[in-house]
Amino acid sequence: MSEANASATRITPGNALRPEDIALEVRTGLAKPSEDTAEYALRLGDDALILAQRLGHWISRAPELEEDIALGNIALDQLGHARSLLSYAGGAMVNDDGSAKSEDDLAYFRREHEFRSVQLFEQPNGDFAATIARQFVVSYYQFLLYSRLTESKDATLAAIAAKAVKEVDYHRDHAAQWVLRLAGGTEESRKRMIHGFRIMWPYVEELFRDDDLTGRLAEAGIAVAPSSLKEDFDRLTGEVLTEAGLEVPDVPAAPGGGRQGRHSEHLGYILAEMQVLAREHPGASW
């Protein structure tokens, strides 16, 4: 996806940073992430990419046409974040021929253990309520993360976050509206909403785990320490759950390990579908 196809038909209000702009900055050396920063961008980018792929599966399958488009929009927003973050991460990673890795190199030509997304993002869509449960957790997490990341000392990360936070704010609202409606709907919808939260909640804990990398980067004012988001996350999601008459599920945390490349059995299938075209026809454009 080169900058050639970037602008003509696209209205880009304001001065939001587009993935094409970041790719160009990386290629021309204007933006150069440190190895740590690139790894951090890769983590967040993989989260967004895997979620986009998951949500994209709803297209043509959502309960209503309108919801089909809503989920498709959210998927595309996530894909946009992934493109920006991966384009930036690629600036510190080189191909065999010495060139910087592009968003496509990273999305299509890495293997399962090289993906750094946490396991919540790869969890199956399940029914609509399960997808909403996952989306509810994800969008509150991402909203808090990107809100704080707008103050990052890394200008590119701050710019990506500034664009993303507006979009994620809407995702948060969308998910919360549905949690309220499903929980307050029929007996069946409430049952499914509760079930959705029960199967997604084991993966919540992993979102807020610190490690050496986030420790170093948070110290430097570049990243947000994941654990520092937990209190606000609990408070904000708790408000909605209380309004919906739901409780935080009492379920044990999953082992996690996505940031180290340890994934649940689901990611391999996602990647197989996502990567097959690019791998079967290397260099193809469409």
Partner 1 sequence: MSPHGNPEAPASSATEINREAPKASPKPQEHTDHAWGLWEVFVRSSRGLSHVHAGSLHAPDAAMALRNARDLYTRRNEGVSIWVVPADAIAASDPDSKGAFFESPQGKDYRHATYYTKSEGVKHL
Angle subtended at Cα 183 by Cα 180 and Cα 187, rounded to the nearest 5 degrees = 150
What tokens does 171 get?
């995702």
Task: Count CB atoms within 10 A of the CB of residue 207.
Answer: 25
CB of 175 to partner 1, least distance (A): 11
Q: Is 32 or 190 the residue whose CB approaches partner 1 more closely?
A: 190
CB 46 within 8 Å of CB 2? no
Q: Which listed residue (38, 70, 138, 218) binds partner 1 by CB under 8 A?
A: 70
**Residue 168 is a binding residue for partner 1 (CB under 8 A):** no
Task: Report helix, strand or coil for 128.
Answer: helix
Interface residue with partner 1 among 23, 52, 129, 149 (CB under 8 A) is 129
| Stretch binding partner 1 (CB under 8 A), from 52-60, 62-70, 86-94, 235-243 | 62-70
Please identify, among the stretches 63-71, 146-154, 255-263, 273-281, the one whose residues bind partner 1 according to the rule CB under 8 A.
Answer: 63-71
Which one of 35, 151, 173, 273 is in contact with partner 1 (CB under 8 A)? 173
Q: Are 42 and 116 in contact (CB under 8 A)?
A: yes
End-to-end alpha-carbon separation of the chain, Å? 10
Pair 20, 1: CB distance under 8 Å: yes
In this complex, which beta carbon is closest to partner 1, that of residue 56 or of residue 185? 185
244: three-class secondary structure by DSSP: coil
Q: Could you say which of 34, 73, 150, 227 contacts partner 1 (CB under 8 A)?
A: 73
Site string for partner 1, 78-117 (x = CB under 8 A): ----------------------------------------
Listed in sequence order, the residues at least 6 apart from 38 whose beta carbon sits closer than 8 Å to its beta carbon are 88, 89, 90, 91, 92, 93
**Are the beta carbons of 136 and 237 closer than 8 angstroms?**
yes
> Quick one: 67 or 104, whose CB is closer to partner 1?
67
Give the up-direction half-sphere exposure of residue 94: CA atoms within 13 A in the CB hemisphere.
5
Q: Interface with partner 1 includes 126 (CB under 8 A)? A: no
**Which 198-257 positions form the footprint of partner 1 (CB under 8 A)?**
none
Residue 240 CB, nearest approach to partner 1 (Å): 14
- Is there binding between residue 63 and partner 1 (CB under 8 A)? yes
* Among the listed residues 186, 250, 265, 283, the single contact to partner 1 using CB under 8 A: 186
- Report the alpha-carbon distance of residue 160 to residue 172 in Å, rounded: 18
Query: What residues line the site for partner 1 (CB under 8 A)?
Result: 11, 13, 63-67, 69-70, 73, 127-129, 170, 173-174, 177, 180-182, 184-186, 188-190, 192
